[in-house]
Structure 1
């Protein structure tokens, strides 16, 4: 009887000890380094920014929570070794993959950003751009930040692929930044995604000082002519023509541009309203959840906590600033060749970065500080949506040369 009790107590004790050893609390003390603790604190800080201050909450919230999950001990949700070297190691994938590894395939294979672009296209009004085609030039000029920062990052010692991924932050387009980085430099995906969405949220802080420094009060008070009405036929033909032209000239940009124009055509044609509403709402929301969680999962301590990440954050804000300046300066240059009464308010050039519609709203706010009766929002939306196309084209160019 005593032997039975002893063996029973040993079994219970061993079971409790094994259970205690398998908990995350034990792993916390046995395996957690200061880096993991720091990343968990970073995740808490990003959650605070998303919830309390509403900084790009739709994605920053999910990115932060993915970052939290991947840095918790023994969770086994994401394994960097399965994607080491920028490739999916299918030979060991099924045996070792966790939940976030499977979801990350949507990022690695370029699926999530393209699906988001379908939703973005369905929510985008290209009318102001069609009414004023000169806006294409302002949107293109704002992409100078991408290529200038690419050269700067390369000069500082980053590889060409890494430099291209850092430069794309200047486009202020999160899905495009994620798409390009997942193709060129997946090891930088976490820092670049956090930088891209953080700076998008900080558009009202970063852009106004640059806009004011590069313009005079007289320029900021310029009133522009009312945009002409755009016909339904023009709205239907625009996405078709743009998709065909860009796919023929730059095939590497076809996935992003094609999906963007597909979504826009759904909206404008008026015969697939159910599909248009679905991609704007249900599909967009589901993909945003998966994209944010898996991008956040790549932000491990090893990938995030180093001087390279600090360099990415600094270069990212430089890229953003140069893009803002490029659009403003081109608008000023165009005014030198424009007749009186047909001049462009340079403030709308800053909206050439593709942070839709925040950048356009900043142009409106800055313009009304000089002239409360001046309404620049619709004029600024032209360069703003042109910037969405421009950043995708810039990503295609970088992918063609560096991919």
Structure 2
């Protein structure tokens, strides 16, 4: 009797996904679990990492071999992605560039561009912090990627997830998975990545510099700003106009004073739904068989290089500006020129506050941080124009 139970249990086990669990699956499950841990225990952008990490875990739990024709064992989640269910349409929203503009709409409705309007010279920092894009592009080309693929990889350094998705879908759609994962993961991990670079390139005295309070920006300026920017972008940077147009629309809804309900919807309920869809779509691309390969690992490494160089170039740009300014700026806000709003500005403030508890840089850092959004858009527009994907 017991001899007959062996084949029975073997057959029963064969109908599950357990026998198909590979070391690659285990590695990616641990990666997903680490993301969830960092989100919960360290509070590193939980709105992003919980969804991405959980979806990564589920995407690497193999299903039974009968899930697909031919007996190939893939996870139930990826089966739904492939065949057309909830996760399929979540991914399609990203791939067909529906999700990125809607994210920009919500970001615009949450954003106060006052700091950038009040101190326009800080826009320079938004440009200076984007050296990482072109460093990563050059390195990617040297590593054997095509020029279009290198451009898509380079845009990771702009630290703008929707823009990274948008440019990648135009230049190298087959790299959407690893590029979007690298962009959003590094954005969430900026509190780990940026501070060592910032401290290395600044002195204690520089980190303790306090800045004067910015002037109050009038309502008319705030209303005119999104309209003017939308016109300029549509005239001169049409390849990225859909994203910036939606960003400006969201901001106009916020600032005009007569569409409060729409602004709250864009910044609240709609934004929350879009983030859920986006994180599931990104995490579902992290299956071991597609993610654990040399090209993906190289893209992730190049993304880290882009973030480090972007942070460094922003800080150095601020130090150079101080050579010509009477009222010195704290070089730490240069790192906020990377476009991850408001993560990079918050990191600048935290590092400065650790050096001088009376130093509150968050409002000042938001200036270059917001300028970084336009810096990434301009960089993306240039890449699309030069590589013929406008």
Tell me the TM-score normalised to structure 1 length: 0.84
Counterpart CA distance in 2 for 1:315 and 1:362 is 22
Match of 1:35 in 2: 24
Aligned: 1:245 with 2:232: yes
1:302 to 264, 271, 289: 289
1:366 to 351, 364, 367: 351
Counterpart CA distance in 1 for 2:143 and 2:81 is 28
Q: Name whichever of 122-131 and 28-37 sits farther off.
A: 28-37
Counterpart CA distance in 2 for 1:25 and 1:242 is 60
In structure 1, the residue corresponding to 2:120 is in which secondary structure?
A: coil
2:196 to 209, 216, 225: 209
How has the CA–CA distance of structure 1 residues 373 and 109 changed in structure 2, closer, same or farther, with 3 Å as cutoff? same
Counterpart CA distance in 2 for 1:357 and 1:276 is 18
The CA deviation string for residues 294-350 of structure 1, in whole angstroms up to 9 with x for no partner, is: 122222223200122222222111111111111111112122222x3x222211111
Tell me, yes or no, if the aligned pair for 2:29 and 2:57 is still in contact at 8 Å: yes
Tell me, yes or no, if the aligned pair for 1:165 and 1:181 is still in contact at 8 Å: yes
How has the CA–CA distance of structure 1 residues 25 and 51 changed in structure 2, closer, same or farther, with 3 Å as cutoff? farther
How has the CA–CA distance of structure 1 residues 76 and 148 changed in structure 2, closer, same or farther, with 3 Å as cutoff? same
Tell me, yes or no, if the aligned pair for 1:76 and 1:98 is still in contact at 8 Å: no
Q: Provide structure 2 residue ranges, at least 5 long, that are not aligned to the other structure.
A: 1-7, 68-74
1:191 to 178, 183, 187: 178
How has the CA–CA distance of structure 1 residues 44 and 26 changed in structure 2, closer, same or farther, with 3 Å as cutoff? farther
Tell me, yes or no, if the aligned pair for 2:198 and 2:315 is still in contact at 8 Å: yes
Counterpart CA distance in 2 for 1:295 and 1:399 is 23
Counterpart CA distance in 2 for 1:41 and 1:345 is 39
Match of 1:167 in 2: 154
Match of 1:394 in 2: 379
1:313 to 273, 296, 300: 300
The CA deviation string for residues 246-274 of structure 1, in whole angstroms up to 9 with x for no partner, is: 11111011011111111111100011111
How far off is 1:170 after superposition? 1.4
In structure 1, the residue corresponding to 2:213 is in which secondary structure?
A: coil
How has the CA–CA distance of structure 1 residues 322 and 182 changed in structure 2, closer, same or farther, with 3 Å as cutoff? same
Counterpart CA distance in 1 for 2:194 and 2:123 is 20
How far off is 1:364 after superposition? 2.2
In structure 1, the residue corresponding to 2:15 is in which secondary structure?
A: helix
Q: How many residues align?
A: 369
Counterpart CA distance in 1 for 2:44 and 2:352 is 24
Match of 2:256 in 1: 269
In structure 1, the residue corresponding to 2:339 is in which secondary structure?
A: coil
Match of 1:49 in 2: 38
Counterpart CA distance in 1 for 2:338 and 2:300 is 18
In structure 2, the residue corresponding to 1:224 is in which secondary structure?
A: coil
Tell me, yes or no, if the aligned pair for 2:49 and 2:188 is still in contact at 8 Å: no
1:59 to 22, 38, 48: 48
Tell me, yes or no, if the aligned pair for 2:336 and 2:348 is still in contact at 8 Å: yes
Tell me, yes or no, if the aligned pair for 2:80 and 2:86 is still in contact at 8 Å: no
Aligned: 1:353 with 2:338: yes
1:308-347 superposed matches below 5 A: 308-338=295-325, 340=326, 342-347=327-332
1:86-165 superposed matches below 5 A: 96-165=83-152
Tell me, yes or no, if the aligned pair for 1:119 and 1:260 is still in contact at 8 Å: yes
Instruction: Name segments (4+ residues, structure 1) moved above 4 Å.
Output: 29-33, 79-82
Tell me, yes or no, if the aligned pair for 1:56 and 1:198 is still in contact at 8 Å: no
How far off is 1:81 after superposition? 10
Q: Provide structure 1 residue ranges, at least 5 long, that are not aligned to the other structure.
A: 1-16, 83-95
Q: Name whichever of 196-205 and 379-388 sits farther off.
A: 196-205
How far off is 1:369 after superposition? 4.0
Q: Name whichever of 31-40 and 294-303 sits farther off.
A: 31-40
How has the CA–CA distance of structure 1 residues 268 and 108 changed in structure 2, closer, same or farther, with 3 Å as cutoff? same
- Name the Cα RMSD after superposition: 2.5
Counterpart CA distance in 2 for 1:97 and 1:148 is 38
Tell me the TM-score normalised to structure 2 length: 0.87
The CA deviation string for residues 184-219 of structure 1, in whole angstroms up to 9 with x for no partner, is: 333333322332222222222222222222223333
How has the CA–CA distance of structure 1 residues 33 and 278 changed in structure 2, closer, same or farther, with 3 Å as cutoff? same
Tell me, yes or no, if the aligned pair for 1:77 and 1:99 is still in contact at 8 Å: no
